Structures are given as structure tokens and as C-alpha cells.
Amino acid sequence: MKSATKFHRMAIVMLVGLTLLAACAAPTPQTVVVTQIVAGTPVQVEVTREVSVTAAPQPTAVSETPPVYTSWDEVLAAARGTTVYWHMWGGSDTINGNVDSDIGGPMRDLYGITLIRVPLNDTADAVNKVLDEKAAGVETGGSIDMIWINGENFKTLKTAGLVYGPFTDLLPNSKYVNWDDPAMAFDFGFPVEGYESPWGHAQFVMEYDTAQVGDTPPTTFEALQEWIHANPDKFTYPAVPDFTGSVFIRHLFIWAAGGPDPFLGDFDQATFDKYAPKVWTYLNDIEPDLWRGGQTYPEAAAMTDLLANKETAFNMGYGPAGASLNIAKGIYPETIRTFVFDTGTLANNNYVAIPFNANNPAGAMVVANYMISPQFQLTMADPNRWGWLITADPRLWGQHDQDVLASYELGVATLSADVLAAHALPEPNGAWVTAMEEGWIKNVLEK
């Protein structure tokens, strides 16, 4: 019998799913963070407002349908001096600060746009809000202008016709995106078709402490399994619905199947049943030797602290440069390094989408356009700033910008682009991800 801690996690997972069926009955106070520029310095100010999904807010547009723009000049004219509410995952203080300074700051300086970052624990919360507003008849003047999104969350909204657009053809900087690349044109196997704009590329890596693990990390799942048993309490992973825990589970399915191909097409129950037992057996086998005996799972944000404090010997995530940045900031000891599994690691793109009823789609498009500009992509790629992989194709940039990108030096714990590219795997179709997460709850969490 598992402890109550694990069943508490299960209840949280179930509650997230149930929110798809229920709408709020009364206005709810919502605290958001506004970035204001004071003497050239971004300053964060908390603002509390009330949002109701049972009664439509007063739409700012005269028409009963969202505004449609035919030129970029029209977009800019409508966006200047407005406010954009960006609902985004808020689990990283580093990312939050970078967004405020490197996106919010330029938006204020260039366009007079106030970017309000609305933190989410789970992107599904924003998806549910859009669904709730649609059910409540809020066709314009919605509470969300833009969402950091990808995968099944995007598919849910697009399939339901609840995304604004297509809009990417209007973005001048879209010319720097190679839309002929299937990895860009398809999001977890689902066609983008102009309804979301990319802003950052990500690839999963494992972080490890050489002082505890040695210089040769376990780069296969078999070797990792042996290491966990030999070193109890030193490894863990986040629980679903945390996206970091979810991607760790997806890697195990790819390992069990000998590659990603079975999961790239439409979901097939027989195929799932063929490979899932090997995954559940693996995870249940290592569970007793996980951190705290596998009776609880940390949030992804806490994983960094666990590794920094040497409570565990591993961390994991979609940021290849994250370990180097944490070393430079003094968060990690100098002994932290990264690796990718021999069977590869998943790579995907971060996108932004605009809900069908966004109050300010023009402002959202201006923000999205800036995020694929060479200026911001270089800021994001800077190993001393964001350290992210980029979604723009630098071959489409001017020579100066290409030279700046080429001048960046890798951090001490960052794998080379060649190593990452050689091990990059495509994400499974979103329906497979849902089945994997639900299967983990039933076959691991509840066991």
C-alpha cells in the first residue's frame, strides 16, 4: 500500500482533468506580474484583478467577432500602447526574469506595450480557461491574449477551433523560420498551419554530479537502473502531470520500442499494450530505491535544489545549457555535467498561440513577432543569458547576426550542437502522450 502522499498527488492529477468539465461560478481574484521600465530597468509589479468565465467581460472590440488584420501596419496601429496578458508556465524564476527583462522591456520601449506575465503551474490551466470562456459565450474580450503552448494542449484548442488565426504569415520575422522543416511545421505530429509561432527550441538532457556518479554517467536505461539500485535515494523524477516527468516516461517508451517510430502516427491501443508493460515494470522496479523511497515525487523546480544540495545525483529537463548557467550563477557546484541517452533524447519547439477570443490579438502578434527576430533569438542563444536553442534558421539572417551567433562559446557543462543534433528524437503524437501519462497514474502511482 502506497502512502497517502502518493494518493494526494493522484488526486491533484484527477482534479486537473476534471476542470475540463467545470467552470468557475464567480469572479476569481488573479494576481499577475506587470513589467514596468523605470530608468531603463525592468521592475516587477503585482496586480490583482477579477476574472469571470460565467459572464462575458465587456468586449473592447465593436464587432461580435475577433478583429481581423490584413497588414502588419494595421497590427502595429492596433497594438501600440496596449496590454498583453501572456499565460505561461511559471515554474522557473530564471525564465520568468528573462521574460520580464528581455521581452517585456523591449515591448515597452519599442511599442508602448505592457506585457503581463500570468504564471501557470500547468499549461492545461490556460486551455481549460479558454474552454470555459467558450462555454460561457465569451466570444470576444477574453482574459488570455497569448499562451506558451505546444503538444496536446495546442491540439486540444486547435481541434476545437479555439485558436486565433492563422496569423504567422502576417509576422514580418516569420521569414526567418524554416516552415519547410517538418519539425517546425508539425507540433508533436500535429500540423501548426499558422496558428502558433515558435520562439525557442528545446532538447532533453540529463544533469549529473560527477562527484557522486563519476566521469562516466549511465547513458543507457539498463545502466541507469543498475546505478539506482546501487545508490538508493539518489535518483528521482517528477510525477505526471509535470511535463518533465512526462518526458522522462516518454523516453522509456522509446527505449522499450527500440525507437520512436511506433509513436509518431495515430494512437493504436495494441501497439501501446505491446510496449507499456516493459515501461511499468522498469518504473516499479526502481521505485523503492528512488529519493524518499519513491513515496513522493518532487516538482521539476525542486529537482534543481535537490541536485545542488547533493540530496540527489541527477536532474533532468529540456534546457541543454541550464547546468552551465546554474554553475555560472553559483547554484550548482563545478562538478555538474550533462549527458544524453544512447537511444537519444526528445527535442521539440516552444510555441505561442492566441486564443480565439483574445482581447488583444494584435498585441500578442507583436510580441510573437519580436520573439522570432534575430535580435531576440541571439539574446536567447547567448550562453550567458538564456542559453536556449533557437527556432529561427540563422542561415536566413544577415552575416553580422550569423557571426555573433558563431562567436558564442559553450558553457562548461553544455553539450555541443552536433552531439545534441545527433541524438535528437521527434516527440510522439499527442494522443500517445496522453495514454502514457494516464497509464503511469494507473500502473505506477496507484500501485
Question: Which of 54-63, 124-133, 267-276, 324-333 shows the lowest per-residue confidence on average (mean pLDDT)?
Answer: 54-63
E strand or H helix that includes residue 246: helix 243-257
CATH of the domain at 234: 3.40.190.10
Q: Answer yes or no: do 343 and 355 share one domain.
A: no
Q: Answer yes or no: do 123 and 152 share one domain.
A: yes
Mean pLDDT over 119-129 rounds to 93
Q: Which residue range(s) make up the domain with 59? A: 4-199+351-408
Q: Answer yes or no: do 183 and 61 share one domain.
A: yes
Q: What is the pLDDT of residues 221-256, one digit of tens each?
A: 999 999 999 999 999 999 998 889 999 999 999 999
DSSP letters spanning 55-124: SPPPPSSSSSS----SSHHHHHHHHTT-EEEEEEE---HHHHHHHIIIIIHHHHHHH--EEEEEEES-HH
Residue 129 maps to a domain: yes
For 29, phi then psi, to 5°, come to: -60, 135
Distances (CA, A) of 161 to 135, 156, 165: 13, 9, 10
Residue 146 maps to a domain: yes
Residue 183 maps to a domain: yes
Residue 41 maps to a domain: yes
Residue 47 has a pLDDT of: 41
Q: Answer yes or no: do 108 and 158 share one domain.
A: yes
Which pairs count as long-range contacts for 220-224, CB under 8 Å and 24+ apart, including other chains?
Answer: 220/341, 220/342, 220/343, 221/251, 221/252, 221/255, 221/282, 221/341, 221/343
Angle, helix 269-286 to helix 221-230, in steps of 10 degrees? 30
Q: Answer yes or no: do 33 and 142 share one domain.
A: yes
**Which pLDDT band holds residue 52 (cuts at 50, 70, 90)?**
very low
Q: Answer yes or no: do 232 and 323 share one domain.
A: yes
* d(C-alpha 138, C-alpha 143), whole Å: 9
Residue 391 maps to a domain: yes
- Point out which residues pair with 200 in neighbouring strands: 350
Residue 12 maps to a domain: yes
Q: What is the pLDDT of residues 290-311, one digit of tens each?
A: 999 999 999 888 999 999 999 9
For the chain, how many structural domains are there in total?
A: 2
Q: Answer yes or no: do 302 and 383 share one domain.
A: no
**Which pLDDT band holds residue 127 (cuts at 50, 70, 90)?**
very high
Q: Answer yes or no: do 39 and 133 share one domain.
A: yes
Q: What is the pLDDT of residues 170-191, one digit of tens each?
A: 999 999 999 998 889 999 889 9
Q: Answer yes or no: do 137 and 284 share one domain.
A: no
Residue 416 maps to a domain: no
**What are the residues whose beta carbons fall under 8 Å from the beta carbon of 309, sequence distance 6 or more?**
none
Residue 100 maps to a domain: yes
Residue 94 has a pLDDT of: 87
Q: Is the pTM of this model over 0.85?
A: no
Q: Answer yes or no: do 115 and 249 share one domain.
A: no
Q: Answer yes or no: do 194 and 321 share one domain.
A: no
Residue 83 has a pLDDT of: 98
Q: Answer yes or no: do 54 and 120 share one domain.
A: yes
